[in-house]
Chain A
Amino acid sequence: MKNEYWRWPEYRRTVPGKDWTEAEVVTAGVDVGAVSSKAVIMVDGELYAYSIMRTGSSSPDSANKAMNWALEGTGMKLEDTQNVVGTGYGRVNVPFANRAITEITCHARGANYIWGPTVRTILDMGGQDCKAIRCDENGKVTAFLMNDKCAAGTGRGIEVIADLLSVPIEEVGPMSLRVEKEPEPVSSTCVVFAKSEALGLLRKGWPKETVLAAYCSAMANRIAELLRRVGVERDFVITGGISKNVGIVKRLEDIIGIKALPMKKEFDPIIAGAIGAGLFAKDLYEKERKDA
């Protein structure tokens, strides 16, 4: 079987020490992205369980699978949740969601939950897009900018390069930093053209580390431009899959001159949008109950 170097770990987790049966409000947020699907279960507004898996060819199926996996082993059924909000690329295709909310809105809210009210700038580096978001102390969006229709400089681009160079995706970032001298960035982060450019560099005798450094550097430059246009204010945080690529994050921080807050051990930054959706689900449920 061919090695799939692009494959990132899919997993589920239940936060230890919480009992959902005692909860007043149980809600869920489901973020169906272009590349990954995430489901979280929130118990009284606190993260209880979540799952992260690859999005398949059908958004509704991916939403169902992610939700069922998040519920697995908790003793909870979907019917035990009082409200569900869908978000992400496939947000309108979450069959069991009561409402869909845009992912930019959800990411800001989720980042506010994970890192706290001092967060003012969020960079969401997703599978097929990249968003720079500004928010207030309540996690409400005040400005944002999304990249053009192009997978260049996104997670999909890193997956292609990982496969091309036969480097496991988790190793791409650390390996790119093992260069003595920073190479010139590749001329294009276009997923289609990067392949031929990277192959050309390998044929020239560049070590894999150097090719990866050139690619990560080009991606960091591209993302920095998006941030420059929206403006970066502290605290600055990074969500999405590429936040785990230290080679891009380090170079990006060097370019913009601001360090991102470190990842929190208990929260995977990939689930920020789903957490935001789960929190909005709670707000909406409580509002409906109050209005009734």
Chain B
Amino acid sequence: MAERKGLREKELERKGWIKQTTIGEPRLSEIVELYKSLGYEVRLEPAKLGELDEECRKCYELEGDKVKTLYVRKKNFR
């Protein structure tokens, strides 16, 4: 997915959150479960469709708000 780094992502990065993927169900629940089992905190943000290239945006719009961007952070992050 072609994407530019947005302000929100930069803000989250400063707090230790690392962007992993933008995805919908049923994959989303699976990877949330797996990241938690590996000792990560998980954060889901609405997918920022405005930051996508037009060709990608059209596909993502079909799924509406079901698609989320997943960020992880090690539990002991300070």
Interface residues on B, range: 10 to 19
Indicate whether A104 sits within 8 Å of B34 (C-beta atoms), given known contacts A149-B60, A150-B56, A150-B59: yes
Question: How far, in whole Å, are A230 and B34 apart by their CA atoms in the complex?
Answer: 15
Contact A104 B30 (CB under 8 A): yes
User: CB within 8 A of B30: which of A103, A150, A188?
Assistant: A103
Quick one: CB contact mask for B51-74 with A, threshold 8 Å, 1 for yes? 000011001100100010000000
Contact B55 A188 (CB under 8 A): yes
Quick one: CB contact mask for A40-74 with B, threshold 8 Å, 1 for yes? 00000000000000000000000000000000000
User: Which of A146, A192, A193 has the most CB atoms of chain B within a 10 A radius of its CB?
Assistant: A146
Indicate whether A102 sits within 8 Å of B33 (C-beta atoms), given known contacts A150-B56, A190-B55: yes
Task: Tell me the residues in window 13-62 of chain B with beta carbons closer than 8 Å to chain A beta carbons.
Answer: 20-24, 26-27, 30-31, 33-34, 38, 55-56, 59-60
* A147 at interface, CB cutoff 8 A: yes
Question: How far, in whole Å, are A148 and B48 apart by their CA atoms in the complex?
Answer: 13
| A147 cross-chain contacts in B, Cβ below 8 A | 21
| B55 cross-chain contacts in A, Cβ below 8 A | 188, 190, 192-193
Question: How far, in whole Å, are A280 and B52 apart by their CA atoms in the complex?
Answer: 39
Question: How far, in whole Å, are A23 and B55 apart by their CA atoms in the complex?
Answer: 54
Task: Tell me the residues in window 121-171 of chain A with beta carbons closer than 8 Å to chain B beta carbons.
Answer: 129, 141-150, 152
**Which residue of A has the minimal Cβ distance to B59?**
A150
* B1 at interface, CB cutoff 8 A: yes
Question: How far, in whole Å, are A42 and B24 apart by their CA atoms in the complex?
Answer: 33
| B21 cross-chain contacts in A, Cβ below 8 A | 145-149
Indicate whether A129 sits within 8 Å of B27 (C-beta atoms), given known contacts A145-B21, A147-B21, A149-B22: yes
User: CB within 8 A of B20: which of A103, A145, A190?
Assistant: A145
Contact B34 A150 (CB under 8 A): no
| A193 cross-chain contacts in B, Cβ below 8 A | 55
* A27 at interface, CB cutoff 8 A: no
**Which residue of A has the minimal Cβ distance to B1?**
A148
**Which residue of B has the minimal Cβ distance to A147?**
B21
* A96 at interface, CB cutoff 8 A: no
26 residue pairs bridging A and B, Cβ less than 8 Å apart: A89-B27, A102-B31, A102-B33, A103-B30, A104-B31, A129-B27, A141-B34, A141-B38, A142-B38, A145-B21, A146-B20, A146-B23, A146-B27, A148-B1, A148-B22, A148-B23, A149-B22, A149-B23, A149-B24, A149-B59, A150-B1, A150-B59, A190-B55, A190-B59, A192-B55, A192-B59
Q: Residues on B close to A: CB < 8 A?
A: 1, 20-24, 26-27, 30-31, 33-34, 38, 55-56, 59-60, 63, 67
Contacts A145-B20, A152-B1 aside, 5 further interface pairs with beta carbons under 8 A come to A147-B21, A149-B23, A190-B59, A192-B59, A193-B55
In the A-B complex, the 9 residue pairs with the smallest Cβ-Cβ separation, listed nearest first, are: A148-B1, A149-B23, A148-B22, A102-B30, A146-B21, A148-B21, A193-B55, A149-B24, A150-B1
